[in-house]
Amino acid sequence: MSKNTLALGVLSVKSEYPVLAAAKYTEVRWVIKLSYSTNGLVNLSLMDAIDAVEKAGYPGIELAFHMEQFNPFEMSEDDLLALRQRFANSNIKPSCIATPTLFFLADRPHDPSAMCVDLAGRKQRIKLIKEGIKLARALDVKIVSFGSGFIRDDHVANPQVDPEALLIDSIRECVAFIGDDDIVLTIEPEPGMFIETIAQGVALIEKVNLDKFRLHIDICHAYCSDQNYVDAIAGAAHLTKYLHVSDTTAGYNLKILHYEDGLTLDFDFASYLLYFPDTADFLLLERNRAAYFYDQTPNREQIQAIAGRLNEAPEVVFVPFDQLPQESSSYDDEIFTYALSVPKLSFYVLDRAKPIIHYLRQQDRRDQGLPYMDKMVANSLTGKVHFHIIPGEGEIDFAGCFKAAVDNGFDGYATVELYHHIDGWEQAVNTSYQQLSKCL
């Protein structure tokens, strides 16, 4: 066993083969091999990224689609030959072809998806996944990964369309394209997406019912989406072919919703930013505080009455939009990541909400009676932040996750995905390997 392959468990299996007849049992080792994703290394050339990951000690590297670094539509035969030779002459191997790049197909993140209402959009996503499968064939990679995408405002406007049916059809077309090759297509549940939880991923796999369609668990996503994430990982390990790894922590859970009569809110679960489409204004509600963000002078009594029905705030604080910050800040990456995870709303609505979040993240505004955000903004089922930080710097129990996976049948790569650490990639690559090696 190489120094980069980390044994996690032993299973005694009764031998059925004559060559082993002298022994009653033979030992089969389950392993997790560490890998690092190139989507955290996009400031480097692809070859330099491979060199950096190998130097840090990783036996694997995830090749993530990127317009400039790893573009499937720009790969020549010479490029492929150079990659094959690079991997053939070293210990590091490609762990996965990752296809769900944010802006690869359009300006809208993760769009068009495999369940896009428009057939033309679905065909774009299917083609991109198929390009991943072609590259997997060429580079002898066993995993091709993608995500379901989000329920968008297009789906809301077309309630007669069944997004799950569209997604299943797209998956079956992609799996059919694999044919007899030893490649598995995996779906990655993600906060806010149509397939958000591990249980939803498992249910989809059972509906599709194809051996070459399996689960890709991102441990950070599981922590954000499952109340008992370790048990959820254990229960789905037999269907899991690939892991992503990053850390995270608790956040300020905020849900953006259209305001409508009869709305009920659960303040034990989250705070709420209610959107009023007639005015494009927002009402932010915590249990005991409220703020209304507006352009035109609002009907204050009406807004106060709405807030009075929904929370326990003694009064609403009114803030005009022209007081909100428009300049860039250190919160940009955090707020961008949050906004792209919010489903069902147009991007115009989400963009209009961003200055409100900037405003409330800048400082503690309790003295003004305002809601405030003293933690990173989150949109998840557990209140954890979907923001990938270096393993060991957050709250996740990686040793428990790895043990749960391996004890229940997982055998494969765990890939560190730190696209929020592109500028500090050297620290991210090396610290992640050191921290995860301790867990293993």
Residue 23 has pLDDT above 60, yes or no: no
H helix runs in 325-414, sequence order: 332-340, 347-362, 398-407
In which residue are the tokens 């720009």 written? 74
Report which of 388, 386, 321, 384 is spatially closest to residue 351, judged by C-alpha positions: 321
Residue 66 pLDDT level (bands cut at 50, 70, 90) = very high
Residues 262 and 209 reside in one and the same domain: no
Q: Across residues 311-334, what is the average pLDDT? A: 93
**Is residue 26, in this structure, part of any structural domain at all?**
yes
Residue ending a domain, choose from 329, 358, 378: 378
Residue 325 has pLDDT above 50, yes or no: yes
**Is residue 160, in this structure, part of any structural domain at all?**
yes
Residues 232 and 257 reside in one and the same domain: no
Residue 22's identity, in one-letter code, is A
Residue ending a domain, choose from 378, 398, 413: 378
Which residues, other chains included, contact 421 with Cβ-Cβ below 8 Å and sequence gap of 6+? 40, 388, 389, 390, 427, 428
Per-residue pLDDT tens digits for 210-230:
999 999 999 999 999 999 999
d(CA 201, CA 54): 32
> HEC states along 72-84?
CCCCCHHHHHHHH
- Beginning with the edge strand found earlier in the chain, give each strand of the sheet holding 316-320 in spatial order: 316-320, 290-294, 281-285, 271-276, 252-258, 377-378
The DSSP symbol for 95 reads: E
Look at the chain and count its residues: 440
Q: Which residue has the higher pLDDT, 5 or 118?
A: 118
Residue 234 pLDDT level (bands cut at 50, 70, 90) = very high
User: Which of 27-31, 63-67, 130-134, 245-249 is the least confident region?
Assistant: 27-31
The two structure tokens encoding residue 334: 């955090």
Residue 205 has pLDDT above 50, yes or no: yes
Residue 34 has pLDDT above 50, yes or no: yes
Residues 406 and 356 reside in one and the same domain: no
Per-residue pLDDT tens digits for 358-406:
999 987 777 777 888 999 999 999 999 999 999 999 999 999 999 999 9
d(CA 28, CA 14): 10
**Is residue 90, in this structure, part of any structural domain at all?**
yes
CB atoms within 10 A of CB 320: 13
CB contact at 8 A, 208 and 168: yes
CB contact at 8 A, 340 and 109: yes
pLDDT, residue 101, reads 84
Indicate if the alpha-carbon torsion angle 195, 198, 204, 209 is positive or negative. positive
Three-state SS for 40?
helix
Which residues, other chains included, contact 235 with Cβ-Cβ below 8 Å and sequence gap of 6+? 198, 202, 408
Q: Across residues 347-363, what is the average pLDDT? A: 93
Structural element, H or E, at residue 172: helix 163-178
The DSSP symbol for 297 reads: P
C-alpha of 285 from chain center: 27
Write out the E strands in 264-409: 271-276, 281-285, 290-294, 316-320, 377-378
**Is residue 202, in this structure, part of any structural domain at all?**
yes
pLDDT, residue 28, reads 40
**Is residue 103, in this structure, part of any structural domain at all?**
yes
In Å, how far are 23, 48, 101, 147, 338 from 79, measured between CA atoms? 48, 14, 20, 27, 36
CA atoms within 13 A on the CB side of 111: 18
**Is residue 383, in this structure, part of any structural domain at all?**
no
Domain ranges, residue 297: 252-378
pLDDT, residue 370, reads 80
Residues 30 and 164 reside in one and the same domain: yes
* Mean pLDDT, the chain, integer: 92
Residue 5 has pLDDT above 70, yes or no: no
Residue 247 pLDDT level (bands cut at 50, 70, 90) = very high
**Total number of domains constituting the chain:** 2
Residues 91 and 236 reside in one and the same domain: yes
d(CA 256, CA 126): 30
Q: Which residues pair with 27 in a beta bridge?
A: 12
Residues 323 and 243 reside in one and the same domain: no
CB contact at 8 A, 316 and 292: yes
**Is residue 61, in this structure, part of any structural domain at all?**
yes
The DSSP symbol for 105 reads: S
Residues 233 and 266 reside in one and the same domain: no
Rounded to 5°, the CA angle 65-387-417 comes to 40
Residue 16 has pLDDT above 50, yes or no: no
Residues 292 and 435 reside in one and the same domain: no
Rounded to 5 degrees, what are φ and ψ at 264? Answer: -120, 145
Residues 154 and 226 reside in one and the same domain: yes
Residue 10 pLDDT level (bands cut at 50, 70, 90) = very low
Residues 152 and 226 reside in one and the same domain: yes
Residues 163 and 125 reside in one and the same domain: yes
**Is residue 146, in this structure, part of any structural domain at all?**
yes
Residue ending a domain, choose from 340, 358, 378: 378
Q: What CATH number is given to the structural domain containing 39?
A: 3.20.20.150
Report the greatest alpha carbon distance in the chain. Answer: 87
Residues 19 and 129 reside in one and the same domain: yes
